[in-house]
Amino acid sequence: MSAPRHRDAPLTYLENRELSAVTFVRDYIQLHFDGPVLNAYVWPKLNNALGVLEQQTPGYRDALCGQIGRLVIVAVADPTTEISLHFDNNTVIAISLREEDRVGEEAAMFQDRTGKLWNVW
């Protein structure tokens, strides 16, 4: 996980919000923030006190769900590498934006609660 580099305007809507739900859909996940939603079409990595957890790591889904109720301190995007959500418990959820990690054209999509503000990476 890289250090914060680029403050992406749509992602700043996630700052000072709690992760309210994690939805596992067939081949992607949704991170909910009581209105705004961040879809990850590339499975995110989770970096916490236990190390880096990936989709195939035992306990990965539990660790993601364990972030429910945690506050996002900083949300940033480095358009060449990743979107990273930095939480109040020093956990980072990172979504790769690298071409080689994508399954389709999109790596992630953000939508605010109104549907008027959105972004696709």
For residue 34, pLDDT over 50 is answered with: yes
Return the pLDDT at 7. 60
Q: How would DSSP label each residue in the chain?
A: -PPP----GGGGGGTT-B--EEEEETTEEEEE-SS-EEEESSPPEEEETTEEE-TTSTTHHHHHHTTTTPBEEEEEEETTTEEEEEETTS-EEEEE--GGG-SSS-SEEEE-TTSSSEEE-
Return the pLDDT at 119. 95
50-103 pLDDT, tens digit per residue, is: 899 999 999 999 999 999 999 999 999 999 999 999 999 999 999 999 999 999
Confidence of residue 8 (pLDDT cuts 50, 70, 90): low
Q: How far apart are CA 99 and CA 1, in angstroms?
A: 17
For residue 2, pLDDT over 50 is answered with: no
Burial class (CB in 10 A: 0-12, 13-18, 19+), 77: buried
Structure tokens belonging to residue 37: 């939603």
Return the pLDDT at 23. 99
Predicted TM-score (pTM) above 0.85: yes
Domains located in the chain, CATH noted: 9-113 (3.20.190)
For the segment 16-27, the average pLDDT, to the nearest whole number, is 98
